[in-house]
Every structure is written in structure tokens, then in C-alpha cells.
Amino acid sequence: MNSTPPQLITYVDRLAGTVTGVRDLLETRLAGMFGGIHLLPYFTPFDGADAGFDPSDHTRIDPRLGTWDDVRALSGEAVVMSDVIVNHVSVESDAFQDVRRRGDASPFAAMFLTLDAVFPDGAREDDLARIYRPRPGLPFTVMELGGRKRLVWTTFTADQIDIDLRTEVAWDYLVSVIDALAGAGVTMLRLDAVGYTGKEAGTDCFMTASTDRYTQRILALAHERGMQVLLEVHGHFTQQIDIARSVDYVYDFALPPLVLHALHAHDLRPLAQWLAVRPANTITVLDTHDGIGIVDVGESDLKPGVPGLLAPAQIDALVEAIHDASGGTSRLATGAAASNLDLYQVNCTYYDAVGADDRAYLLARLIQLMVPGIPQVYYVGLFAGRNDVDLLRATGVGRDVNRHHYTPDEIAAELDRPVVRALGELLRLRAAHPAFDGDFTAELEDATGVLRWVHAEHRVELVFDVAARAFTLTATGADAGADAEVRRTVDDLLAAG
């Protein structure tokens, strides 16, 4: 296995039911595909208002999913990444419930942000209007704390109460979370929503100087415990470049829309521009538990006057192309059509975003696997899953269209589909081939490109055409299965599958 094998992103309950079930699946039907796994929130409870991102107890695994010993056993087989939800806690947490009862008399009162904590002299209209928002409206909810009505800071939903990282009681809480994860063998931390932690009067309260200080403090805590940190931030592409200089890993959130643009518009030039400047310490994704990011390639209020990787007209065309490719199902799940919406994302499975075209999908995945970084594949994407409109209608939550609950019978059936079997072969190549420890080069023109890895006598090369949705993959070296080179086309892979 090379040094940067693929990782799986998955909910425990929606894939295998328990942590032990996930481990068994990795060791059997998914053997050889992944060297790591990002377990989406499995804390107590895993099925709250925000699919686990609002735990009432972040230091305890939900007993319905397993035990810390189960996580420790999994970490003995693969690199395990877990979320540290930095910005907020559940409204149902013991600490916040104590503040609700006792107000300022609670020892946890300073842990939670209210409007006047950030604006002690009061907030003007301009102060409130400039706050950077992931969703419509102001980030406050009226709540009664100790018998007094207060404006509590709730960036995402009224079920998620923002914490004040200016206070040591908040840091005591975060240290307890990190220690619980370290004790279970977790070696990678994903900092969720950390960009919103640095609320400062006179700023837009996003990615401020305070945010950087908080991130560096968490980074030091993680490194002391032998852990690495992945920062999750959506914003202008230049911000990702800047942030990457000071943390272990950042997401390549620009890659998913740029690959879709290439496939729909037959235009690789924006991707070529990105490959020329993107940081190397990236986690590459096409899909995650959230939507397909658009802000990551466009203009942004965070960087006024600085162009994006795609022009506004190209972004509009891309969004419409995704909606058309999905038969309109992504439109049902995106924007004002669905609750818990994000302003900067399209909710859609990646397979539906390319029109459920096996050839286009495998090409998209190959581009992801060939680009430098650690590739992560979302569980729905692993199975080339379709939009779950039934789940969307049942919950009214847009992102649920890409959060299907798989039964064991469904998993068995999906793994026998040609496109899924072909993807499994590509993942095993990416996990094992020594060329990926070498040097990367890219040659991209309008609709055609070459991506290449070379390490000593080992080579993996992808020659592709996004207009024809075709490619030839060439791999050499003993780990390719023979000393001579092996060539596979998209049709070869699908036929073998």
C-alpha cells in the first residue's frame, strides 16, 4: 500500500449499522480499497436534528452503534478520522440545559455565546448585516436563560448552540472531546465548522484572526497526542491555499464542481488553472455528507474583487446542468425547496450529477484518484447511488437526498453492479500502486488531458477526453499485476465489472 491510500467517508448507521459492522465490511467486501475511514458523527445521539452534528454528549459513543473498544479495534486496522464539532453543541447538552435553568449562576454560563458577548456595547444594523452566513437570516435564537430572555448565537440551527472559545470552560470541553477520541485510537481530526468560531465585533465573524488562533491551539493539542488535523472550510479558493500553509490538511472542495464543469461544458481549463496553484496537503473529494460546493469555485464576498475559478455565468450553467442531469431531483433538494439549506451548495449524489452515466462517473472518479492528496470516497458515491427522493420527502432536509440508509441486501446488490465493481478495482489500484509515492504531472487542454504519476520504474497514466467521456488507464510495475504495462479503457473496466 502506498502512503496515501483512499479513505471511506460514511455514517455508521446508514452503511453497516454498527462500528463492528463497518469494520467487517472493510475487511471483506471492501477489502483492499481503503486505508482509512472518516466515521461521520457517531456520538450521543447520532440521529439528532443534524444527523449527529449536534451531539448532546460529544465524549460518548452512542451505545446503539457500539463502544469505544469497537472504535479502537477499527483503528487497529485503518486510519480513523473523527469529527471535532468546534463551533457548537446540542441544545440538549447537560451544560446548556444547566445554563437554561440557572442562567449566569451556572458554571457553564461563559461557555455559550449570546449577542452581547460579542457586541457588549450593542450591535448596529451594519454589524449584523455583515455577519457571514451559511444560511438565510440572522444567527440568533431567542431563549430563556435563568428566567431572562437572551439572544443566543445559533449559526446553523436553533438546536445547535455556539460556544465561546474565548473562555477556558469551552476549552476544557474541547480537550475532553479530543482526549476521548485519542483514547479510542483516532489519529485524524476533522474540525467541523471551525471557520465560524472567531466571532469578533467589527468583522464578518468568519475566518477571523481569532479563528486562526483557535485552530493553532487545537493543532497543538492534536499533535501532542499524535493526531493530525483536517480543516473544513468553504470559501474562496485562495483562502484554501492560505489555510493549507498552517494545518496538516485541507479539503479540495474546488475539485468536485470543476470536474463537473469539465464533463458538462467539455472544458478542462479551469481545472488546469486550479491544478497549477492548489496545495499538496489536501483531502480530495467529489462527494461528502453535505452538498456539492459552489462557493469554492466562484466569486465571494470574502474576497471582494478577486475572480473565482469559474465565472458567474459558468456557475449558473453548471448548477442548471446538475439539475438537468439529475432529472430535476437535485432541484427538489436545493435552496429554498428544502429546509436546513445551504446557500452555497447543490444537494445531489455525484452519480446523478453526471446523469447516472457510468462512463462519466468512472472518469470523474479517476480524475479524483489521480490528483495529488488523500482521496476520500463517500459511501453513497462508492455505490454510485441515486438521489433518495423518498428520504428527502420524509424528512424535508435537502442533504438527505444524498444520505441513503443501505440495507445488507442493497449493499450486496450494489457491489455487483459493473460501475461499482469497476470503481472498486480503481480504488485497489490507487491503494496499492507505488507510483503514487512519486511525482505527479498534468497536461490539460480544452477537453483532453493526461495525468501521470512516476516513481522509479513504476508509472500510472490516465489519458482522457471529457467530451467523449472516455479514457485509457495505463499502469506499470509489479504492483500493477505484471512487469509489463497494463492498459484499461473505460469499456474494458465496465465489461470486466
Binding residues for substrate: 50
232 is catalytic: yes
Q: Which amino acid is at 242?
A: D
Detail the residues annotated as belonging to a binding site: 50, 88, 190-192, 232, 289-290, 342-345, 399
Annotated binding site for sucrose: 88, 190-192, 232, 289-290, 342-345, 399
Radius of gyration over alpha carbons of the chain, in Å? 22
Active site residue 192: yes
User: Of the listed 54, 83, 232, 352, which one is catalytic?
Assistant: 232
The dihedrals phi and psi of 371, each to the nearest 5 degrees, come to -70, 140
Q: Cβ distance 480 to 433 under 8 Å?
A: yes
Query: Which pairs count as long-range contacts for 404-413, CB under 8 Å and 24+ apart, including other chains?
Result: 404/14, 404/380, 405/13, 405/14, 406/14, 406/15, 406/379, 411/15, 411/25, 411/29, 411/383, 412/29
Exposure letters 283-306 (e unless 16+ CB within 10 A, then b):
bbbbbbbbbbbbbbbbbbebeeee
H or E element that contains 47 = none
Nearest 5°: the CA angle 230, 314, 274 is: 40
Looking at residue 402, its amino acid is N
Tell me the C-alpha distance between 484 and 486, whole Å. 7
DSSP alpha helix (H) spans, 337-452? 350-353, 358-370, 379-382, 389-395, 408-415, 418-432
Q: Which residues contact 79 (CB under 8 A, 6 or more apart)?
A: 7, 35, 36, 37, 187, 188
Length of the chain: 497
Indicate the helix (H) or strand (E) that contains 141.
strand 140-145
Please state whether 176 falls in left (phi above 0), alpha (psi between -120 and 50) or beta: alpha
Catalytic member of 70, 83, 162, 192: 192
Contact between 207 and 233 (Cβ < 8 Å): yes
Q: Supply the DSSP symbol for 10.
A: E
Which residues are known to be catalytic?
Answer: 192, 232
